[in-house]
Amino acid sequence: MSLIDTPQTLTITRPDDWHLHLRDGAALASVLPHSARQFARAIVMPNLKPPITTTAMAGAYRERILAALPAGMQFEPLMTLYLTDATEPDEIRRAQDSGFVHAVKLYPAGATTNSAAGVTDLARCYKTLEVMQQVGMPLLVHGEVTDQDIDLFDREAVFIERVMRPLRRDMPALKIVFEHITTRDAAQYVAEAEGPIAATITAHHLLYNRNEMFKGGIRPHFYCLPVLKREEHRLALMTAATSGDERFFLGTDSAPHAVGAKETACGCAGCYTALHAMEMYCEAFERAGALDKLEGFASFHGADFYELPRNQTTVTLKRETWTLPQTVPLGDATLAPLNAGEQINWKLL
Ligand SMILES: NC(=O)N[C@@H](CC(=O)O)C(=O)O
Ligand SMILES: [Zn+2]
Ligand SMILES: [Zn+2]
């Protein structure tokens, strides 16, 4: 592409974030405006302490999110329930009837941040999953096995064989989103599988491979789960995201942790990208020469999968270099956006 062909601005239908951590309380108030500036709607993860396990809790959390939204901003939180061994089929019916719960999240117990209350054995959830299949409630999956004998970098690929394939064989009509995929194995599985399955892809997994965590020293802000993988996997994610295949859509997995909880002997998993998510995706799609595919990925495919209307307004991104802040507030603490202090070449207007 010659310089003259390089677009200086990109206007697309307003995007949505199909995988987001907003936390609660003072942290929620700090991070919510960032996401609301970038996205019209977001699927809000339920891994709070205690987790959002009931429709009533999801309704109260939704009210807290709306109360924390600065005046004049438009943002629709799409709520989720946290699946446990004890989630009753009736809870799914209540969730479906609520109109504000849009999915149920599977965290294998111990897989990631605040997953201790997660599912120990999916077989215990089959009656509940059957109701989800029946009413069309999507299951969102953190797809990693927790077996300590399995190498950390292999946990997603092993999950496909041990959990995803058997589950989909037993419940072929259950809508599933394979969240934040990080491997060629997962991208290939989702692209080829039959039935209602899709995947979200983060901006950081499109832009970085695992070397980024160790460039010149250990870089805890690049540590997230599932962990960054080899370059061949990043390339497969780029191919999937920019392919135009409607099974792949945007989910930032922006996951705020205070600087002190990241820069420590046992740092938390999660990258904070809500501040500059669309700029990061723009950069990734531009590198692939696929800016024309960004709108489908960011603004259409997710809405279509969740059977929600596409947004009617637009946003514009401009080619303009700006510098990310070193930190932003997180309640009384501070939060470092991914790439803090560095330059980025697109700007959401
Ligand atoms: N992605 C992460 O590394 N962390 C997420 C949890 C999750 O999405 O697995 C968090 O809540 O901090
Ligand atoms: Zn996860
Ligand atoms: Zn997440």
DSSP 282: H
3-state class (DSSP) for residue 222: helix
Pocket of ligand 1 (CB under 6 A): 21, 47, 112-113, 142, 224-225, 253, 255, 269-270
Q: What's the distance, CA 111 to chain centroid?
A: 15
* Strand 333-335 versus strand 328-330 pairing type: antiparallel
Q: What are phi and psi of 315, to 5 degrees?
A: -125, 155
Residue nearest to atom 8 of ligand 1 (CA): 253
- Over residues 288-308, the mean pLDDT reads 98
Q: Which secondary structure element, helix H or strand E, spans residue 46, and what is its range?
A: none
Could you tell me if 242 and 285 are in contact, meaning their C-beta atoms sit under 8 angstroms apart? yes
Task: Report which protein residue has its CA nearest ligand 1's atom 2.
Answer: 270
pLDDT in tens, 97-106: 999 999 999 9
Point out the ligand 1 atom lying closest to the alpha carbon of residue 114: 11
For residue 155, what are its two tokens?
């946990």
What's the rounded mean pLDDT across residues 197-222? 98
Give the ligand whose atoms come closest to the C-alpha of residue 255.
1
- Determine which one of 17, 253, 304, 332 is catalytic: 253
Q: Which atom of ligand 1 is nearest to the CA of 180?
A: 8
Instruction: Please report the domains of the chain, with CATH numbers, ordered by start residue.
Output: 15-312 (3.20.20.140)
Distance separating alpha carbons of residues 205 and 141, to the nearest angstrom: 17
What is the Rg, in whole angstroms, of the alpha carbon atoms belonging to the chain? 19
Structure pTM? 0.98
Binned at pLDDT 50, 70 and 90, residue 7 comes out as: confident
CA–CA gap between residue 301 and residue 307 (Å, rounded): 10
Of the pLDDT bands very low, low, confident and very high (cuts 50, 70, 90), residue 5 is low
